Amino acid sequence: EYNADTPTSLLEAAIVQWHWLTDTHPGDDQWNSLHEKLVARWAELRKQAADPQLHFAWSGADASGEDNVTTAYMQETAAEAGFDTIALPIEEIGWDTELERFVDLAEAPIEAIFKLYPWEWVLDDEFGRRVVSSLPATAWIEPLWKALLSNKAILAVLWEMYPGHPNLLPTYIDEPRELTEYIRKPKLGREGANMTIVGAGMETATGGVYGAEGYVYQLLDPLPEFDGMRPVLGAWMVGDESAGLGIRETAGLITDDGAAFVPHRIPAG
């Protein structure tokens, strides 16, 4: 799978596990250059930007506070790179009907904005659809084309393009075809919600609010088990460079929003 749009667990991967390493194993190393690479990438964008001002938005509807904290961290890395940053909930972004531009709470035009909010939610909202007409006057980060990559239908497209590729699992849209053991995933699902596993002795399902958009059916290939837990390795990219590793694990077959984040270390010598 591929998370193209919403970098949740970024704070844990970039900062929290690094402090764990320096506190508990100061002589060891870690696959983690996320902070440095984020600042460097923002610095590159700062050179290209005509305006030093950069807005940051998250959803005020997120009761957990995770999106707010993650956005604040991204804002901090951008400020370190030289941007003047302004934060506001995405629900408080305004639209100037005369200028036909998005504006902030001070009614200043938004030239560039990072949003921790899925593109499919933006485009499903009548107000959010103005985003398309705002381009390129307003630069959106992540860009709109990430909506193609964050849809699990891409798993089926990739399998159709490269059948038998060792890095892919057989995946189909809307039906399992020849698969007798599979996992059904909503095309736009997140955090393991609305998954259904079909397999000998492994039948399970999770609840959630996704699925109206349709499903993909992927060959069931359970994660390996270590000491009763099944870890998922999350490899991070910043720009076009590898930047770090985050591990989440759970005792079940589906990695959901209750999965634990596990720090890692590379022993010295």
pLDDT in tens, 120-151: 999 998 888 899 889 988 999 999 999 999 89
Give dist(CA 96, CA 103) in Å, integer: 6
Q: What is the DSSP letter of 90?
A: G
Q: What is the pTM of this model?
A: 0.93
Q: Are 192 and 206 in contact (CB under 8 A)?
A: yes
Helix (H), strand (E) at residue 220: none
Residue with tokens 């951008």: 78
Q: Which CATH architecture has domain 25-149?
A: 3-Layer(aba) Sandwich (3.40)
Q: Tell me the Ramachandran region of residue 177: left when phi exceeds 0, alpha when psi lies from -120 to 50, beta otherwise.
A: left
The percentage of residues in the chain with a pLDDT greater than 70, rounded to a whole number, is 100
For the chain, what are the domain ranges?
A: 1-24+222-269, 25-149, 153-219
Buried b (16+ CB within 10 A) or exposed e, 20-29: bbeeeeeeee
CA neighbor of 86 nearest in space, from 101, 98, 64, 103: 103
Q: What is the pLDDT of residues 181-206, one digit of tens each?
A: 999 999 999 889 999 999 988 899 99
Residue with tokens 């699902």: 189
Q: Does residue 2 have a pLDDT over 80? A: no
Residue with tokens 């991204």: 74
Buried b (16+ CB within 10 A) or exposed e, 181-205: ebbbbbbbbbebbbbbbbbeeeeee
